[in-house]
Amino acid sequence: MSAVGRNRVIVTGAAGGLGREIAVQLAERGCALGLVDIDPAGTARVAAECRTAGSDVEEIVADLTAEGAPEATVQRVVARFGGLDALVNNAGYGAIEPFLGMTQRLWQKTLNLNVIALAMACAAAGRVMQAQGKGRIVNVTSPASRMALPDYLAYAASKAGVDSITRAAAVSLAPFGVLVNSLAPGMMDTEMQRSTEKDLARLNRRDDLQVFLDERTARVPLGRRAEIAEIAAAAVWLCLDAPPYMTAERLNMSGGMDRD
């Protein structure tokens, strides 16, 4: 199916969780999609879902931390669809490590994907969008970027980096009609969230995982965790529907946890 007349969108980390839901919702809105993930089987499954919804899909199995990979990903989508209207930088990594036991390996793995690859993707997409005179970039950040989380520090610091990149990219690309915003989801029951909370419970010697999870959920002013679909809907809104005067903003979808 031709991508002519459709919004052309790249979604990174598309093989599962939030990325999958964003991709499916974009497909249902008629977008042509570049789906990017390191997981070939997961990428193929999501691509099939999106094609069923009527989308034209380019599957890209790539390690975005490899030098040149973000740029090659953007160029592949542009070659397939003739341009790029939106980029969703959703791919991310995080792991629990005690502050006094931090390792350089974890920091490097986290920053390579969450910060460096994201920045390179922003620049690569930005060059295409600059030439077009339009485009939108959505970076997935986290309430963690504003919290003191000694056992999750590499992740929290990386998301503070995402906030900084978002602001800088927005200012750099504003003269060309390109909007750059971020989305800060709250607690969602994604695979990454579940794994992280299990490790955090173990580190804090909490044997009853459900009680631990309930206590964490109780911290949310709305009293519940986010549905993946409602967070994805916010990402889709930023890609397709947000007003054209909105840029350099952070959209908090944390149920009130992130109140600033």
The residues that are catalytic are 155
CA distance 191 to 197: 10
